[in-house]
Amino acid sequence: MDKRTGRVKTRHIILAVMCLMYFISYIDRVNIAVAGPFIRQEMGLTTVQLGLVFSAFAYPYAAMQIFGGWLADRYGPKLVLTVLSLIWGVATLATGFAGSIAALVALRFLLGIGEGGAFPTATRAFTYWMPVGERGFAQGITHSFARLGGAITPPVVLAIVVAFGWREAFIVLGVVSLIWTALYMKVFTNTPEQHRRVTPEEAAEIGYRPGDCERAKRASTPWRKLIRRMWLVTFVDFCYGWLLWVYLTWMPSYLRESQGFDLKQLALFTALPLLAGVVGDTLGGVVSDKLYKATGRLRFARVSVLVVGMGGSLAFLLPMTMVSDPMVAVFLLSASFFFLEITNPVLWTLPLDIAGKYAGTAGGMMNTGFGLAGMISPVAFGYLIETSGSYNVPFAISAVLLGTGVIAALFIDTSKTVDKDEADEAAAMSGAPSAMVGAGPVWMATGPQRHPLRRPLRWRR
């Protein structure tokens, strides 16, 4: 809120709408895990077949990461996210009418197409709506709403299932998704200059320069530079995503089959770890932003949070495989997920830090790691449960990947940006010194006052 006028800033309204999108999309994503035991019973599925239904979402989800982000860079996030949200809303609604495993797989595949490009598109939207010092918070709060959606899914979906049936749960959630699409179309614009409510003062706070979005649309995507700068972040995201997919798909089954919780207990104790993730997501983004503002060291602010988050998650996951008390298992699951989610806003902020105006494509590259993990993790988890007769073996593999992710995170360098690469190349060609400093373009790192506008802003009223 603007302290001088008492008016809610437009970028915060935009942020609230995006938080709602993350909230709804995650409910649509994880509802299958809650309904899974009921679907399995009705259709007579094996654990491997149920794992296939779980993982069907991940294949198009992974494929759409880079493509969806590129579309957002090229055509703007408003059009792209509108189309994607229509796709996933229809897929969710239609799941309520599925009559076979083939239909379930096909609709989960369609849901993956719709949601696959959504988060990279949202990240691209933040490029021109969020100042550098608010990006960690923006990514943290949006993803905390995603985890909140995941946390309330068990009680909400189970309540609908008990009252009406699992099919009705998907129908209701599909309608809610379509309502959000209408809200987004009304509120969002690609840039501050297109929004009637934005003042010149708020545009200056954001650091947006008129025409940046259009110039970015016309720019050729520097694929090699993006891959060189983002591959390590993508690998870390894979290590993070492996365990997250376990939580999103197999946790209700683990608590019911391994720990013996009944239906009523299942709703509460499935929600608790995800609620811990809500806190972790918000805290990770806030801490990273504060570290950056306090030290001016962007790499330290990002990497330190990644290491603490994944390391802490590992520390609580290892003993979980050795306990027999159900309540202790829930506590360790919750603590591990809390630390795991501390890393999430930082992972999503890195494409903004490193790729700038190509953040949509870079965000898609990064989240491809999560998508690839989703292809493998649910099916591998189900196979290992079936062959070993225990949940401990797949959890132990998740722990190994977390440890690998901690080591890899230490080598991420936010000072090596795509914008700096382009400036260095231009300087080499002209024989002039590079104008880039720090972790990104000067106007991003130090504020718009360093770069007077060539022409005055024309704000629509």
Q: Residue range 39-48: average pLDDT?
A: 79
Q: Hey, what amino acid is at 322?
A: M
Supply the pLDDT for residue 124.
83
Tokens 């492996």 correspond to what residue? Answer: 242
Q: Residue range 401-428: average pLDDT?
A: 82
Q: What is the pLDDT of residues 343-387, one digit of tens each?
A: 988 998 898 888 877 877 888 888 888 878 877 887 787 788 778
Confidence of residue 442 (pLDDT cuts 50, 70, 90): very low
Higher pLDDT, 177 or 144: 177
Is pLDDT at 243 greater than 80 in this prediction? yes
Confidence of residue 214 (pLDDT cuts 50, 70, 90): low
Q: What is the pLDDT of residues 378-398, one digit of tens each?
A: 778 778 877 877 777 888 888
Delimit the domains of the chain by residue range.
10-190+222-416
Is pLDDT at 213 greater than 90 in this prediction? no
Supply the pLDDT for residue 314.
93
Which of the following CATH numbers is that of domain 10-190+222-416: 3.30.360.10, 1.20.1250.20, 1.10.10.60, 3.30.70.930?
1.20.1250.20
Integer Cα distance of 237 and 304 in angstroms:
15
121, 220 in Cβ contact below 8 A?
no
Is pLDDT at 80 greater than 90 in this prediction? yes
Burial class (CB in 10 A: 0-12, 13-18, 19+), 373: buried
28, 173 in Cβ contact below 8 A?
yes
Q: What is the pLDDT of residues 264-303, one digit of tens each?
A: 666 667 677 878 888 888 888 889 988 988 888 888 999 9
